[in-house]
């Protein structure tokens, strides 16, 4: 079974949404995936996702209301095969904790799954308005569709 970890800064907006969307895709594609998410920061440990994330996700049929934020830890490199980060700052923070080249190879900017080699970031919606959350949903929905499709092909 593939093991996938989604990572952002706070683990209350982008990565819990990516976790929920990929879980929905795993049902659609009929694949077993172990999915989790984490934040590089300790800002929101133990908290449920941001209320704007919860309501935007629900409007698309995805329930992330029960998830709880946790911080990324070094042993996540052992526990997951694929670590998808949302932006460049998440990428540097996670890579800084990598112990080996094998660890580093697990880390990918999630939008490279749909825009190869573009190194684009999923914009942080936390300080913006509601429309930022919808934009993030569309980006992550497309990326998670591609991730699930690829895992289906190799399963
Ligand atoms: P996330 O968004 O990384 O997508 O969960 C953020 C959540 C909280 C903060 C920043 C980004 N914050 O600074 O508290």
* 102-117 residue pLDDT tens: 999 999 999 999 999 9
For ligand 1, say whether the CB of 8 is within 6 Å of any of its atoms.
yes
Predicted local confidence at residue 155, as pLDDT: 85
**Number of domains observed in the structure of the chain:** 1
Cβ within 8 Å of residue 135, ≥6 positions away: 123, 125
Predicted local confidence at residue 51, as pLDDT: 97
> Residue 75 maps to which CATH number?
3.40.50.2300
Q: How far apart, in whole angstroms, are the C-alpha atoms of residue 24 and residue 143? A: 13
Give, for ligand 1, the residue of 10, 16, 86, 91 to mutate: max count of ligand atoms closer than 8 Å to Cβ: 10
Predicted local confidence at residue 13, as pLDDT: 98
Look at residues 140, 115, 35, 36 and name the one whose alpha carbon lies nearest to residue 132.
Answer: 140
pTM assigned to the model: 0.98
For ligand 1, atom 13, name the residue with the nearest CA: 10
- 33-39 and 107-109 as β-strands: parallel, antiparallel, unpaired? unpaired
First to last CA, the chain: 8
pLDDT tens sequence across 57-101: 999 999 999 999 999 999 999 999 999 999 999 999 999 999 999
Give, for ligand 1, the residue of 12, 18, 37 to mutate: max count of ligand atoms closer than 8 Å to Cβ: 12
Average pLDDT (3-19) is 98
For ligand 1, say whether the CB of 9 is within 6 Å of any of its atoms.
yes
Q: How far apart, in whole angstroms, are the C-alpha atoms of residue 67 and residue 10? A: 13
* Boundaries of domain holding 49: 2-154
Cα angle 73, 41, 7; round to 5: 65
């Amino acid at each position: 079974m593939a093991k996938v970890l989604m990572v952002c800064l706070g683990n209350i907006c982008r990565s819990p949404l990516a976790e929920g969307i990929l879980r929905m895709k795993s049902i659609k594609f009929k694949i077993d995936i172990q999915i989790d998410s984490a934040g590089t920061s300790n800002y929101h440990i133990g908290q449920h996702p941001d209320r704007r994330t919860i309501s935007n996700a629900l409007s698309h049929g995805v329930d992330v209301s029960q998830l709880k934020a946790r911080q990324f830890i070094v042993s996540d490199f052992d526990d997951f095969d694929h670590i998808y980060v949302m932006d460049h700052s998440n990428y540097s923070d996670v890579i800084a904790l990598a112990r080996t080249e094998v660890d580093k190879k697990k880390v990918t900017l999630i939008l490279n799954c749909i825009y190869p080699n573009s190194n684009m970031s999923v914009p942080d919606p936390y300080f913006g308005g509601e429309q930022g959350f919808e934009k993030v949903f569309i980006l992550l929905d497309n990326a998670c569709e591609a991730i699930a499709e690829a895992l289906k092909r190799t399963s």
